[in-house]
Structure 1
């Protein structure tokens, strides 16, 4: 659903630029071995010392999703969540990158999402009955 969102993003230019660069880096990193991707995310998290506030995080997720609509390649949950984590690092802020599953009324699916350090998923449909279960936090 993320890649085909109809939401238009008209946020600040700096968010849109960070989203484009973050998504481009995410697409590149996901083509490399996963251990290299994990190291890059850990490095990005060290650059972002302070957590991102929830409203700004939602804006950044929307910017990355909107940017993903413009790319000619797949930009689903894995790419957009990683792009959001990398984009937040450009501002010296920190988000967690979570891999796991999300349960709801059928179907149950593998999923990746960005999460605030306090433990709240960002840009996810948690109010619609979706429950996120983490397998790996980076």
Structure 2
């Protein structure tokens, strides 16, 4: 799955939350990591109910679409944290996962959002791609 999306997804409210979540994530990721973790834990407490998978996919797409406008880096760490923060702004909850993604040849560090009790959202998981979380917030 690419870091940027040219497809505009989600409702107007979801796109607005995606823009605010990504902006907040970009600011937070300039701070020490302990502050980022605290903010993600706070966002998890704010979200009352888990987001369903279809709306979570749309929210990930909206954050990736918003990332096109940012002139700097907006890769997996920024988009996944932005998605979690956008869900919290909508009163919903997503997990923020940091770990590895691998298939037979490559292994890479990766960050993703997931619905609690479900798999990664908006990620390429077919053809042997596996996600293993080292830290789940």
The residue aligned with 2:7 is 8
Cα deviation code 1:55-102 (max 9, x no counterpart): 000000000001001111100000000000000001111000000000
Structure 2 residue runs without a partner (length 5+)? none
The residue aligned with 1:18 is 17
Taking structure 1 as the reference length, the TM-score comes to 0.94
CA distance in 1, matches of 2:52, 2:17: 16
The structure in which a higher percent of residues are helix is 1
The residue aligned with 2:34 is 35
How many pairs does the alignment contain? 137
Structure 1 residue runs without a partner (length 5+)? none
* Greater CA drift, 61-70 or 119-128: 119-128
- 1:105 Cα deviation (Å)? 3.2
> Contact 1:3–1:74 at 8 Å: present in 2 too?
no
Taking structure 2 as the reference length, the TM-score comes to 0.95
The residue aligned with 2:53 is 54
- Cα distance change, pair 131–105 in 1 and its aligned pair in 2 (3 A): same
Moved beyond 6 Å, runs of 4+: none
RMSD over aligned CA atoms reads: 1.2
